[in-house]
Structure 1
Amino acid sequence: METNVSNKVRNWLAAASVPIIIWTVIPLLWILATSLKSDAALADSSQNVLGNFWPKDISWDNYKLIFTGGAKDLFLPALWHSIVVCLSATVISVVLATFCAYAIARLTFPGKKLILTTALGVSFFPVIAMVTPIFNLWRSVGLFDTIPGLIIPYLALTVPLSIWILAAFFQQIPWEMEQAAQVDGATSWQAFRKVIVPLAAPGVFTTAIIAFFTAWNDFVFSLNLTSEHARTVPAALAFFTGASQFTQPTGAICAAAVVVTIPVVILVLLFQKRIVSGLTSGAVKG
């Protein structure tokens, strides 16, 4: 009986998810379709099908524009900045969060719960509220429009979230395994490096993906803390211009959006189970 009920619930959930998936996918398909339209197709709906949705003749002009055309000087450096800044912020935040989360999970000290609560609270802190003081400070110390000046604020976004997720994973690892390694003669560092870290690898990997997504999608910090030497793709899209002041670069912006979305989509499709596992563990433990 329980199996029948479970199957019914599963079927209802599947049916309810269909309109949600459609509602989510349509904007993504619209961006893809717009990136494949020529300037003429963007201006003339008769050159499109499905109610001006999909172009009759696919054009790669917008992709040529951002990779080899006039927009390459803006897009390609921004793409490189995004890769460098996001990977650096992810590596640093995961390393710092690993040690901090391990201490929270294994050690007993005053204020441990307060640290976890603070980390969770910082994760929900409005980013826009931090921009003005950081902007003024960065202009004073010379970090404005630099790669380090963008990595450091990203750590404020990724480290607290990483600590919360990794603390839940470390709490799931049996304490006896580390004690057994120490009984066999391993030091605390050796037990951590050879026993705990391999067991926590799935959690560390999940945390790294989530931290990377958080940094990759940031717009506010990149827009306000950079000028042109460290600007990432989300902010660079706001500075795309058309062939003239009367032309909107809609196709080029959509092409760039598709390019920067592809890595995110691939990572999600390949590691969706680990991402869901990390979010679930972080929600129920602590």
Structure 2
Amino acid sequence: MNLQRTNPGLYWLQRIGFYVLVIIITLYLLFPFFWAVLTSFRKAGDLFLPPLQFMFAPSTLANYQQVFANASFQRGLLFSLVVATGSVAISLLFGSFAAYALGRFRFRGKQAIMYIILAVSVFPQIAVLGGLFTLIRNFGLFNNPIGLILSYLIFTIPFTVWVLTSFVRDIPGELEEAALVDGASPLQTLFQVLFPVMMPALVTTGLLAFINAWNEYLFALTFTSSNRTVPVVIANYSGATQYDQPWGPIMAASIVVTVPLIALVLIFQRNIVSGLTAGAVKG
């Protein structure tokens, strides 16, 4: 406000520069998605047109019709939904128990456990791929959704525990004390008192874990042969010949897979913001 009064020209120059920078960053981030949407509505022959002609070429729904008529894509959607939902549900259940213990109780080795969880969450998938493949094959879980769900827990549970632990630490202890005075057991306190308070963090953590499981490619490619998830199905799209790359159907399938994630983020955006910012300020 002082700058606006003392030097209006500099103030408005900073304002204009700020909004120009925001517009440039927004266009830079959204342009790939915009181009993918355009490609999904274009014919195969239009893909080789110059950019301006490509942008204003006639639209068609043939790519989307081809995608939804593909039985492999339909099975991939269902398979991805089952695997992602199962892994998130298990992660939230066990992650909540672990976060409650790590955030509320004091015991020897607590910090070491937290550092181990953090190390596991950033561990590269390729490092455990060989051993995990051997375990899944020996237990008869190859090409089975249970095998994928268990493998996804490697990166969903550590992430869930780490995020929820920081949230549980900031929940007022008076809530638990009041529940214990009323005769509630620790499990009743967790489910009936803390879970409602943790709902923003649970929604945020569950949604982010769901997105990671939904988009996962390496484990799904390695541990399945016929029951493929959507990313693997899209990556294996092939044209009529070996020289034909069906970019239109690939982009259409990618848009179909991305739209549900965007819708979930828009629906739960308030929970996401409150869950990510919870515990950021103490006082």
Alignment-derived partner of residue 186 in structure 1: 184
After TM superposition, the structure 1 = structure 2 runs for residues 1-286 of structure 1, keeping only pairs within 5 Å, are 14-43=19-48, 45=49, 50-68=51-69, 72-229=70-227, 231-281=228-278
Alpha carbons of structure 1 residues 75 and 194: separation in structure 2 relative to 1, 3 Å: same
Alpha carbons of structure 1 residues 214 and 3: separation in structure 2 relative to 1, 3 Å: farther
Superimposed CA distance per residue, residues 190-246 of structure 1 (whole angstroms, 9 cap, x where no aligned partner) = 2222211111111111111111011111111111111112x1011111211112222
Shift of 1:284: 7.9
Alpha carbons of structure 1 residues 28 and 135: separation in structure 2 relative to 1, 3 Å: same
Give the gaps of 5 or more residues in structure 1. none
- Using the alignment, how far apart are the partners of 2:120 and 2:280 within structure 1? 16
Cα RMSD (Å) of the superposition?
Answer: 2.5
Shift of 1:276: 3.8
Shift of 1:281: 4.3
Instruction: Please say if residues 37 and 55 of structure 1, whose CA atoms lie closer than 8 Å, have aligned partners that are also in contact.
Output: no
- Using the alignment, how far apart are the partners of 1:237 and 1:223 within structure 2? 11
AA partner of residue 26 (structure 1): F
AA partner of residue 120 (structure 1): L
Q: Name the % identity.
A: 40
Secondary structure of 2:58's counterpart equals: coil
Alpha carbons of structure 1 residues 27 and 56: separation in structure 2 relative to 1, 3 Å: same
Alignment-derived partner of residue 8 in structure 2: none
Instruction: Please say if residues 41 and 55 of structure 1, whose CA atoms lie closer than 8 Å, have aligned partners that are also in contact.
Output: no
Give the gaps of 5 or more residues in structure 2. 5-10
Instruction: Please say if residues 165 and 282 of structure 1, whose CA atoms lie closer than 8 Å, have aligned partners that are also in contact.
Output: no
- Using the alignment, how far apart are the partners of 2:85 and 2:194 within structure 1? 24
What TM-score does the superposition give when structure 1 sets the normalisation length? 0.88
AA partner of residue 41 (structure 1): D
Alpha carbons of structure 1 residues 14 and 98: separation in structure 2 relative to 1, 3 Å: farther
